[in-house]
C-alpha cells in the first residue's frame, strides 16, 4: 500500500524472538552440534583451529564459569583484541554469565583506552599482548594504573588465564532478552564516542532479519573481516551466522590480496565490508585476479555506498549486492535493499526498513512527519533501539524523545514505497548563504568521474557565506585529474552553488576503526594547514 507521508510503520510479518545471545548458541549446539561454526585465521590469513557449534558452546560455557568465579552478573567486561576466536568465545561467555561486554578498538592508545574503561566502569580487561606493533599490555598497564574498578587484566592468549584452572561448572544465571548485552562505543566520525548500551533482543533479531533479507542459510560461508568491536562484526556477521547455521571464517587482519585468495580457496559466499574495504578488494583483484564465482552476496554500509562502487562490485564479482543503513544505537540495521531490487534502487537508496520497527523522516526542528520525498531527519522506533547511552542521561534524552523516536542525526528522504535515500549527517549539512547543501549528493556526483576513487565533502567556515563547500579527493591510482575537469563535471550534473569552492587531494584518509572517514578530522587538518589547496 503506497505511503502518503514519510512514515513506514512496523511490518510484523516476521517474528521477534524472545531470546538472548546465549540462547541462540545453545539452540544451534542442540540442533546442529557437529556443524562447523567458526574458523580462525592468523595474521597471514592462513586457516587455524575450527569449532563446531557444540564445541563453541562448551568453550563459551567454560569461560562463563571462570568469569563467575571472579565477577557478578551485570558487571562490565572489556575486550581489547583484533578478530580472534577468543573474542567470539568471550562474547558468548559474557552473554551466558549475564555480564555486559564492552568492546574496544585494538588500535586505541592509552588515553582512549582509559576513557572507555573509566566511562564504562569495566571490572576487567581481556586483551592480547600486542597487535601490529601496538604494545597493548604496556598501554593497558599505563591506562589502568589509576582505575581501581579494573580488578583484572587477562591475557586471552593464555588458556590458563582465559579458561581458568580447575574451574568447576556452576549454575548460570537467568538472563533476559531485554537485559544489556554490550556497550558499543560509537565510531567517532564527528567527535569523541558515547557508549550505546545494546540489549540481547535487539542484537539477535536485527542480525537474523538482516540475514533473512539476503537469503543467507546453513550452506553459506561468511568471511568476516569487519572488526568484532563493531556491531557489523560481532552482531550482524556472528549472530546472523549462528542463527542461520552458517560457517564464519574470522579474518584477524584485513590484507586484501590474502582475503581475496582465501575467498577463492574456501568458496566464500558472503561478505560485508565498508566501501573503503570493498574498493581495496577490487583494486587487488585487478592486479591479482581470483575466482569469485562462489560469492552470492556482498553487503556494504557504514558510510556512503557510491553508485559506481555498487556497479563495480556487481560487474567484477558477478554477485548480488545489498546496501544496509543503520547505526550502533539501533543494533545496527534500519534499512536494507533486497538482492533483486533494481540497479537504480540498489545504487541510489539504502532500501526499505527491516520488519518490526517504525521508520520516519521527521522535521529536525518540530519532529513532525515530513511529506514524501522531502529531506528531514531519519528516526527509528522499535525493538532495535538501544537502551540508553551509558551513564549519560543528557545524551540519551537528546537522542530518544518522549515518543520513543531515536533521532539518528542522519538526513534523508522516503518515497511512497518506503525506500530511503541518505543525504548526509544533520551536523554535516552545509549551510551556504542560507541554502542547505547535502554532502552525499555532491560526493555521489564526483564518484561518477573516472579519475575519482574516493571523495569527502565538508563545510568550511567562511566569513561571507557562513560555510563554503570543501572537497577532498583521492584520485584513482595513476591518474592526475585537473580541478577544472572536476568543476566542469560538477557543473554538468549539479547547480553551481553545490560545486566545491576548495579542492584538496589526499593519499589516505583519517579513518575510524570501522573504516569510516572522519570528516571532522579532515576539517581540523585543513585548518591546521595539513593539505595543499589545489587551483583550477
Tell whether 400 and 489 lie within a shared domain: no
Q: Strand 333-336 relative to strand 352-353: parallel, antiparallel, unpaired?
A: antiparallel
Residues sharing a CB contact under 8 Å with residue 529, sequence separation 6 or more, in sequence order: none
Q: Which residue has the higher pLDDT, 409 or 203?
A: 203
In a domain, 2, yes or no: no
Specify the range with the lowest mean pLDDT, choosing from 244-248, 277-281, 289-293, 302-306: 302-306
Give domain status of residue 185, yes or no: yes
For the cut 70, the answer to whether the pLDDT of residue 303 exceeds it is: no
Confidence of residue 444 (pLDDT cuts 50, 70, 90): confident
Grid coordinates in use for 258? 590474502
Percent pLDDT > 90 in the chain is: 81
Bridge partner residues of 246 (DSSP): none
Is there a single domain that holds both residue 450 and residue 409? no
**481/307: higher pLDDT:** 481
pLDDT category of residue 536 using cuts at 50, 70 and 90: confident
Domain boundary among 414, 440, 467: 414
Predicted pLDDT at 276 = 79
Question: What does the pLDDT average to over 428-457?
Answer: 86
* 99 and 246 together in one domain: yes
- pLDDT given at position 452: 95
Indicate whether 217 and 337 sit together in one domain.
yes
- Tell whether 383 and 509 lie within a shared domain: no
Query: What is the CB neighbour count within 10 angstroms for residue 468?
Result: 18
pLDDT at residue 189, rounded to an integer: 46
Q: Does residue 1 lie in a domain region? A: no
Do residues 113 and 80 make contact, with C-beta atoms less than 8 angstroms apart? Answer: yes
Owning domain of residue 205: 7-369+378-414
Do 388 and 197 touch, CB atoms closer than 8 A? yes
Residue 527 lies in a domain: yes
In this prediction, residue 250 carries a pLDDT of 98
Tell whether 389 is covered by a domain.
yes
Which helix H or strand E contains 525, and what residues bound it? Answer: helix 519-527
What is the helix (H) or strand (E) element at residue 241, kind and residue range? Answer: helix 238-244
CA atoms within 13 A on the CB side of 76: 22
Q: Is residue 442 part of a domain?
A: yes
Domain count, the chain: 2
Contacts of 530 (CB under 8 A, 6+ apart): none
Q: Indicate whether 432 and 408 sit together in one domain.
A: no
The pLDDT of residue 191 is 53
What secondary structure does DSSP assign to 433-498, as a single string?
Answer: TTEEE-HHHHHHHHHTSTTEEEEEEEEEEETTTEEEEEEEEEEPTT----HHHHHHHHHHHS-GGG
* Same domain, yes or no: 406 and 504: no
Q: Is residue 17 one of the residues assigned to a domain?
A: yes
Has residue 190 got a pLDDT over 60? no
Give how far Cα 44 sits from Cα of 139, 188, 261, 267, 487, Å: 25, 29, 11, 18, 43
pLDDT attached to residue 502: 96
Residue-wise burial string across 205-230, b where 16 or more C-beta atoms lie within 10 A, e elsewhere: bbbbbbbbbbbbeeebbbbbbbbbbb
Q: If we measure between CA atoms, which residue out of 256, 314, 241 comes closest to residue 288?
A: 256
- Residue 410 and residue 434 in one domain: no
Q: Please choose, from the candidates 485, 474, 425, 484, the residue with its C-alpha nearest in 3D space to the C-alpha of residue 452.
A: 474
DSSP label of 9:
P
- Compute the C-alpha angle 347/361/353, nearest 5°: 55
Q: pLDDT-derived band of residue 439, with 50, 70 and 90 as boundaries?
A: confident
- The pLDDT of residue 465 is 79
pLDDT(463) > 80 = no
- Tell me what the mean pLDDT of segment 36-65 comes to: 98
Is there a domain that residue 457 lies in?
yes
- Cα–Cα distance between 449 and 301 in angstroms, integer? 21
Q: What is the pLDDT of residue 496?
A: 83
Percent helix, percent strand, percent coil in the chain, to nearest 5: 35, 25, 40
Which of 135-139, 435-439, 448-452 is the least confident region?
435-439
pTM, two decimal places: 0.84
Domain CATH number, residue 473: 3.30.300.30
Q: Which three cell numbers stand for residue 317?
A: 564479482
Look-up of cell digits 518506503: 418
Question: Measuring CA to CA, how many Å separate 43 from each of 159, 184, 243, 250, 254?
Answer: 20, 25, 28, 11, 8
State yes or no: pLDDT of 119 exceeds 60.
Answer: yes
450 and 340, same domain (yes or no): no
> How far apart are alpha carbons 376 and 371 in whole angstroms?
9
Residues 403 and 505 in one domain: no
Mean pLDDT, residues 19-29 taken together = 98
Give the per-residue pLDDT at 302. Answer: 66
d(CA 228, CA 238): 9
Q: For residues 330 and 450, state if they share a domain.
A: no
pLDDT in tens, 324-361: 999 999 999 999 999 999 989 998 899 999 999 999 99
User: 574451574: which residue's cell?
Assistant: 167
**Are 395 and 442 contained in the same domain?**
no
**Average pLDDT taken over every residue of the chain:** 93
CATH number for the domain that contains residue 48: 3.40.50.12780
Q: What is the mean pLDDT of residues 396-405?
A: 96
Residue 427 scores a pLDDT above 80: no
Which DSSP string do the residues of 37-103 spell out, in sequence order?
Answer: EEEEE-TT--EEEEEEHHHHHHHHHHHHHHHHTT--TT-EEEEE-SS-HHHHHHHHHHHHHT-EEEE
Residue 284 confidence class, pLDDT cut points 50, 70, 90: very high
Asked whether the beta carbons of 86 and 66 are under 8 A apart, the reply is: no
Amino acid at each position: 500500500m503506497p505511503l502518503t507521508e514519510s512514515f513506514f510503520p512496523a511490518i510484523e510479518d516476521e517474528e521477534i524472538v524472545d531470546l538472548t545471545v546465549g540462547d541462540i548458541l545453545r539452540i544451534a549446539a542442540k540442533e546442529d552440534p557437529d556443524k562447523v561454526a567458526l574458523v580462525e585465521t592468523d595474521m597471514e590469513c592462513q586457516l587455524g583451529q575450527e569449532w563446531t557449534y557444540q564445541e563453541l558452546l562448551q568453550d563459551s560455557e567454560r569461560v562463563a564459569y571462570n568469569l563467575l568465579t571472579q565477577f557478578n552478573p551485570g558487571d562490565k567486561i572489556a575486550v581489547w583484541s583484533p578478530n580472534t576466536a577468543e573474542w567470539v568465545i568471550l562474547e558468548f561467555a559474557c552473554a551466558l554469565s549475564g555480564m555486559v561486554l564492552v568492546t574496544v578498538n585494538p588500535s586505541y592508545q592509552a588515553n582512549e583506552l582509559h576513557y572507555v574503561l573509566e566511562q564504562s566502569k569495566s571490572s576487567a580487561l581481556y586483551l592480547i599482548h600486542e597487535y601490529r606493533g601496538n604494545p597493548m599490555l604496556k598501554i593497558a598497564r599505563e591506562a589502568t594504573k589509576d582505575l581501581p574498578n579494573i580488578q583484572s587484566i587477562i591475557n586471552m592468549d593464555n588458556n590458563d588465564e582465559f579458561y581458568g584452572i580447575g574451574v568447576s561448572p556452576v549454575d548460570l544465571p537467568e538472563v533476559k532478552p531485554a537485559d544489556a548485552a554490550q556497550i558499543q562505543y560509537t565510531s567517532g566520525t564527528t567527535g569523541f564516542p558515547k557508549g550505546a548500551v545494546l540489549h540481547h533482543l535487539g542484537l539477535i533479531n536485527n542480525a537474523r532479519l538482516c540475514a533473512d533479507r539476503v537469503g543467507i542459510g546453513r550452506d553459506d560461508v561468511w568471511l568476516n573481516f569487519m572488526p568484532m568491536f563493531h556491531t557489523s562484526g560481532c552482531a550482524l556477521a556472528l549472530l546472523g551466522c549462528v542463527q542461520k547455521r552458517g560457517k564464519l571464517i574470522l579474518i584477524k587482519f584485513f590484507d586484501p590480496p590474502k582475503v581475496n585468495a582465501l575467498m577463492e580457496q574456501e568458496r566464500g559466499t558472503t561478505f560485508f565490508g565498508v566501501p573503503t574495504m570493498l574498493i581495496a578488494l577490487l583494486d587487488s583483484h585487478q592486479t591479482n585476479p581470483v575466482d569469485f564465482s562462489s560469492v552470492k552476496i556482498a553487503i556494504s554500509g557504514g558510510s556512503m555506498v557510491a553508485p559506481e562502487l555498487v556497479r563495480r562490485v556487481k560487474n567484477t564479482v558477478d554477485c548480488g549486492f545489498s546496501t544496509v543503513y543503520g547505526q550502533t544505537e539501533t543494533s545496527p540495521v534500519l534499512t536494507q535493499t533486497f538482492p533483486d531490487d533494481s540497479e537504480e534502487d540498489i545504487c541510489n537508496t539504502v532500501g526499505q526498513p527491516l520488519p518490526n520497527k517504525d521508520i520516519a523522516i521527521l522535521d529536525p526542528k518540530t519532529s513532525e512527519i515530513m511529506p514524501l520525498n522531502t529531506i528531514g531527519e531519519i528516526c527509528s522506533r522499535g525493538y532495535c533501539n538501544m537502551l540508553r547511552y551509558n551513564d549519560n542521561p543528557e545524551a540519551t534524552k537528546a537522542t530518544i524523545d518522549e515518543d520513543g523516536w531515536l533521532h539518528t542525526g542522519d538526513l534523508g528522504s522516503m518515497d511512497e514505497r518506503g525506500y530511503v535515500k541518505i543525504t548526509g549527517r544533520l551536523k554535516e549539512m552545509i549551510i551556504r548563504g542560507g541554502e542547505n547543501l547535502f554532502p552525499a549528493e555532491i560526493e555521489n556526483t564526483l564518484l561518477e568521474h573516472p579519475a575519482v576513487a574516493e571523495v569527502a565533502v565538508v563545510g568550511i567556515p567562511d566569513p561571507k557565506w557562513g560555510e563554503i563547500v570543501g572537497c577532498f579527493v583521492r584520485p584513482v591510482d595513476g591518474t592526475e585529474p585537473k580541478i577544472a575537469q572536476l568543476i566542469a563535471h560538477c557543473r554538468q550534473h549539479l547547480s553551481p552553488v553545490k560545486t566545491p569552492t576548495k579542492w584538496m587531494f589526499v593519499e589516505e584518509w583519517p579513518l575510524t576503526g570501522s573504516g569510516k572517514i572522519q570528516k571532522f578530522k579532515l576539517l581540523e587538518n585543513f585548518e591546521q594547514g595539513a593539505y595543499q589547496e589545489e587551483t583550477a
